[in-house]
Amino acid sequence: MTELLAAIRSFIDERALPLERDFLTRPFAELEPRLNELRAEVKRLGLWAPHLPAELGGRGLTLTEFAHVSALLGETPIGHYLFNAQPPDIGNCELLHAHGTAEQQAKWLVPLARGDIRSCFAMTEPEFAGSNPVWMAATARREGGDYVIDGHKWFTSSADGAAFTIVMAVTAPDAKPHERASQIIVPMNAPGLELVRNIPVMGDVGSGHASHGELRFTGVRVPVTNRIGAEGEGFALAQERLGPGRVHHCMRWLGICERAFRLMCEHAVRRELSPGHPLGEQQAVQHWIAESRAEIDAARLLVLDTAQQIEARGAHAARDRISLIKFHVAGVLQRVLDRAVQVHGALGMTDYTPLAFWYRHERGARIYDGPDEVHKSAVARRILKGFGLKRS
């Protein structure tokens, strides 16, 4: 593991960081050929998709081992992509590996694991509160051996250029809320499936992998064999995906925190307020640095402990810890990024460092995969139940 982390560290520092500035200032599509060259290099070095099992070309790391890798990759916005460990593909790979049929795995998982194609995951709808994941309008109606899908989705990350999406749609409207929907593979070129637009996010419309799409499904027909798992199992599969997925996100955020921290310290030493007097002499800056260090280190321990609990007891048993890290680390990320931007002054607002990119795109960390408030209430309700609270 130590050797693997050292090899990834060198690749990030020597090969990825020089390309980062272009990523921050140019459309993804323009940079894709150069990113693909680096992806090929990662493969040649035997570092590809370390979270995937060996039979899929990875290194079969455990969740805890991959958490360490994810923190390193998170130090640059292109890290996870270069190692084929980027969301949403990582979650789709895990889902297809655990629940896909042999045919689905051959057709979709194998090329996804090789990095030949990309994918996306379409669950959230603009007209319905995504915080209530069982409430949606998209339907998949059975007609003979097919599903006919109608629906409207948005914030489908990386839809632009994806080969397929996994869509969550209601297959049994009269079933219990948690058993109504199924997850179904839909090729992005299926007739009736339209990428309406890439949604502008804080002024950045994005493109390719680095985008969030709005999708419309109008009478989209796919074979019933495209369903993943049993009918009505969509919600349960989504929950299963989200447990380890939140550990991945949290460690990626801690990677961002480490880089922001380093940039903040370097700038505090380099930038002088008057000749011979660097910014780092200011007590306010010193406090931001100390507070950030404490928050990052504490958050890392909490996330690694959660990963170990998931491995030992399963995601359901570890659900309180998963909720705790989700909102806690998202908060640490916001605070560390904000302090780093502040220390950089106007430079922090530019795209000459990755801080502004993360500041724009990772504000969503407190919203996606369950907003802060949902996780806090879920944990607190279970705690208070132990103290006798009947309902809330």
Ligand X SMILES: Cc1cc2nc3c(=O)[nH]c(=O)nc-3n(C[C@H](O)[C@H](O)[C@H](O)COP(=O)(O)OP(=O)(O)OC[C@H]3O[C@@H](n4cnc5c(N)ncnc54)[C@H](O)[C@@H]3O)c2cc1C
Chain positions contacting ligand X, by CB under 6 A = 88, 121-124, 129-131, 155-157, 212, 364, 367-368, 371, 373-374, 377
Rounded-to-integer distance, Cα 77 and Cα 90, Å: 16
Q: Which is nearer to ligand X, 289 or 365 (CB)?
A: 365
Q: How far is CA 291 from CA 136, 297, 336, in A?
A: 41, 10, 9
Helix axes 234-270, 283-313, angle to 10 degrees: 150
Residue facing ligand X at closest CB distance: 130
Q: Which is it for the CA torsion 372, 377, 383, 387, positive or negative?
A: positive
| C-beta of 8 vs 123, nearer to ligand X | 123
Nearest alpha carbon to residue 165 among 192, 202, 141, 144 = 192
Closest to ligand X by CB, 257 or 279: 257
CB of 366 to ligand X, least distance (A): 7
Least Å distance, CB 129 to ligand X, is: 3
Based on CB atoms, which residue is closest to ligand X, 280 or 371? 371
For the CB of residue 367, give the shortest distance to ligand X in the complex, in Å.
5
Paired tokens of 307: 């990963």
Nearer to ligand X, 65 or 160 (CB): 160
Copy the structure tokens of residue 65.
């081992």
**Distance from C-alpha of 274 to C-alpha of 279, rounded to nearest angstrom:** 9
For ligand X, which is the closer residue by CB, 153 or 344? 153
Q: How far apart are CA 282 and CA 8, in angstroms?
A: 35
Query: Judged by CB, which is closer to ligand X: 129, or 196?
Result: 129
Spatial separation of the C-alpha atoms in residues 372 and 39, rounded to whole Å: 34
CA distance 1 to 68: 9
As measured in angstroms, the least distance from the Cβ of 30 to ligand X is 22
In the complex, least distance from residue 86 CB atom to ligand X, rounded to whole angstroms: 11
At closest approach, how far in Å is the CB of 134 from ligand X? 12
Name which of 212 and 328 has its Cβ closer to ligand X: 212
Instruction: Answer whether 241's CB lies under 8 Å from 58's CB.
Output: no
- List beta partners, residue 103: none
- Helix residue ranges, H only, 233-316: 234-270, 283-313
Q: Which is nearer to ligand X, 82 or 122 (CB)?
A: 122
Instruction: State the minimum distance, in angstroms, from the CB of residue 132 to ligand X.
Output: 6
- Least Å distance between CB 122 and ligand X? 6
- Cα 252 to chain centroid distance, Å, stands at 8
Minimum distance from residue 199 beta carbon to ligand X (Å): 9
The structure tokens 């680096």 sit at: 38
Residue type, 238: A
Q: For residue 144, count other CB atoms closer than 10 A to its CB.
A: 8
Residues near 135 by beta carbon (within 8 Å), at least 6 away in sequence: 128, 129, 177
